[in-house]
Amino acid sequence: MKLIVTKDEQQGGLEGFKVFQEALQNNAQTFGLATGSTPITTYEQIVQSDLDFSNCISINLDEYVGIKPDNPQSYRYFMNKYLFNQKPFKQSFLPNGLAQNSKQEAADYDQIINQHPIDLQLLGIGQNGHIGFNEPGTSFDLTTHVAKLTESTIQANSRFFKNINDVPKEAYSMGIGSIMKSKKILLEAFGTQKADAVAAMFNGPVTIDVPASVLQNHPDVVVIADEAAAAKVN
C-alpha cells in the first residue's frame, strides 16, 4: 500500500482528485464511490474541474435500508448533491434502500458489479476500521449484503441526523470480496479520530477484526491521509 500524507484534508482532497484524473486518463470506465464526510473535498475538486464522466459508470458502496432516495439522509441524495447533479455520469448505481426483497436486491447489485468491473474504488474508513459497511467480524469473502451497523458506527453517523434514534440500524453494503476485485483502490482518511484505524490497517495483522487491513493483500492501493490520521502509522 502506498501512503501519501498531506498537511490537511483540503490538500488530501486535491491528491484524491489527481488519482481520479489519472484513472480517467488511463481510460477507467467504472468508478466505485463512497459517501460520508471524507470524500467531500475530492468531490468538490472534481466538480470544479473539467473532468468528464459522462461516459462513465459509478457504483456506490452502500445505502441505508428503509430510506427513500429523496430523503436528505439517503446516500443517493448525498451523491446527487455533492457530485452527480454537477458532474453527471452515464449511469450511477446505488442499492435500493426500499427494496422489498433484500436478498434479491443484494444479488442484483452483485450482478451490476460483475457486469461493470470497478476500475477505481474510493473508500473512507470507519473509526473501527470498517470499509463500506463491512463492520469488524465480517468475512472477507462476502459480496453485497445487508449489514447491521455497530453502535460505534451509529454513534459516528448520528451527526448527520437530528436524533440518534433516527440513524438506520442496517445498510446494504458492497462486500469486501467485491471491493478487493477493484483494479485500483483509493482510501482517504482525515482527522485524529481515524489515526488508530489507519495504523491498524497498515501495521496490524490482516484480520477480520480490522476490515480495512485486508487492503494489505491488494496489489494497488493508495492511501491518502492527513497528518492527523497518519500520525500513528509506523
Just list the catalytic residues.
Answer: 62, 128, 130, 135
The H-or-E segment that residue 13 falls in is: helix 9-25
User: Which of 87, 130, 145, 184 is the binder for ligand F6R (CB under 6 A)?
Assistant: 130
Tell the smallest beta-carbon distance from residue 130 to ligand F6R (Å).
5
Sole window of 10-18, 44-52, 119-127, 216-224 interacting with ligand F6R (rule: CB under 6 A): 119-127
Helix residue ranges, H only, 64-149: 75-79, 102-115
Q: CB of 122 within 8 A of CB of 39?
A: yes
- Phi then psi dihedrals of residue 62, to 5 deg: -160, 170
Q: Is 36 in the site for ligand F6R (CB under 6 A)?
A: yes
* Region label for 202, one of left (φ > 0), alpha (ψ between -120 and 50) or beta (otherwise): alpha
Alpha-carbon distance of 30 to 155, in angstroms, equals: 32
Closer to ligand F6R by CB, 52 or 154: give it: 154
As a residue count, the chain comes to 234
User: Rounded to a whole number, what is the largest CA-CA distance in the chain?
Assistant: 46
Sole window of 19-27, 36-44, 93-101, 176-184 interacting with ligand F6R (rule: CB under 6 A): 36-44
Closer to ligand F6R by CB, 125 or 221: give it: 125
Q: Is 195 in the site for ligand F6R (CB under 6 A)?
A: no
Closer to ligand F6R by CB, 132 or 177: give it: 132
Residues that bind ligand F6R (CB under 6 A): 34-38, 61-62, 124-126, 130-132
